[in-house]
Amino acid sequence: MRIAWGISGAGHLLKESIEVMETLSGKHEVKVFLSRAGEEVARMYGVLEQIGDFPIVRESKQGFAFPPCGAFNLKRFDVFVISPATSNTVAKIRLGIADSLLSCCASQALKSKVPLILVPTDSKHIVETRAPNGQVFMIYPRKVDLEHLEALRDEGVIILEHPKEVPRTLEAAKEGVRRVIKLD
Ligand SMILES: Cc1cc2nc3c(=O)[nH]c(=O)nc-3n(C[C@H](O)[C@H](O)[C@H](O)COP(=O)(O)O)c2cc1C
């Protein structure tokens, strides 16, 4: 499969997402779409070099129109995964805003019927996470964050709790289980 993998500016589930990307790259083509914040946060968590091993589109090298998003209109990818997905990027996608690399790619993917999988950082009422220095702390996502996820689910977007669920979701899609990934 040709997988476009978006990484937004989230520390939560970042290392876990990269682990899954590395596993998938053995069997699939994986291209990374890295938000500007994603680049900064990955540097803080010490994983930017690891991400740089993949073919990559960096928002920091883009202007305002994001030409690489056209690849979704031209069906150059079979699926678009954003993991981890910040509450910022999720909100933009839900509301139809397309003014950042990832929200623009997601918008084009949805408008071109390319399946979209999101692994949001704010997916439940309480999330335990880790700062770059290793300190553990809790975040309490807002009602609006959770409402965005429900609305996106209703639109056919696949919402997963953890990146480790991505491979079996892709596998199911490949086998034509259209109720797992709504292709039409
Ligand atoms: C160290 C660090 C970790 C962060 N982790 C998260 C996170 O887990 N979830 C989240 O929604 N935002 C997180 N943020 C905030 C986002 O980076 C910020 O909202 C940014 O504007 C998101 O841009 P993007 O959605 O285009 O990547 C974090 C910021 C920093 C500095």
Average pLDDT of the segment spanning 10-18: 98
pTM of the model: 0.95
| Residue 17 vs residues 60, 76, 128: alpha-carbon distances, Å | 21, 22, 16
Q: What is the pLDDT of residue 184?
A: 44
Ligand 1 centre distance from Cα of residue 61 (Å): 19
Establish whether residue 37 lines the binding site of ligand 1, counting it when its CB lies within 6 angstroms of any ligand atom.
yes
What band does 176 get if pLDDT is binned at 50, 70 and 90?
Answer: low
- Residue 180 domain flag: no
Ligand 1 centre distance from Cα of residue 87 (Å): 8
Contact 41, 10 (CB under 8 A): yes
As a whole number, the mean pLDDT across the chain is 95
- Residue 181 domain flag: no
Ligand 1 centre distance from Cα of residue 183 (Å): 30
| Residue 133 vs residues 7, 18, 45, 136, 163: alpha-carbon distances, Å | 20, 19, 8, 9, 22
Ligand 1 atom index nearest CA of 8 = 27
- Residue 40 domain flag: yes
What band does 91 get if pLDDT is binned at 50, 70 and 90?
Answer: very high
- Residue 76 domain flag: yes
Q: What is the pLDDT of residue 177?
A: 47
Domain count, the chain: 1
Nearest CA to ligand 1 atom 10: 86
- Here the CATH number for the domain that contains residue 155 is 3.40.50.1950
Between 182 and 48, the more confident residue is 48
Cis amide bond preceding 55, omega within 30: no
Q: Is the pLDDT of residue 179 over 90?
A: no
pLDDT in tens, 65-80: 999 999 999 999 999 9
Q: Domain of 31? A: 2-174
pLDDT in tens, 96-150: 999 999 999 999 999 999 999 999 999 999 999 999 999 999 999 999 999 999 9
Establish whether residue 83 lines the binding site of ligand 1, counting it when its CB lies within 6 angstroms of any ligand atom.
no
Pocket test for ligand 1, best of 43, 88, 124 (most atoms within 8 A of CB): 88
- Residue 183 domain flag: no
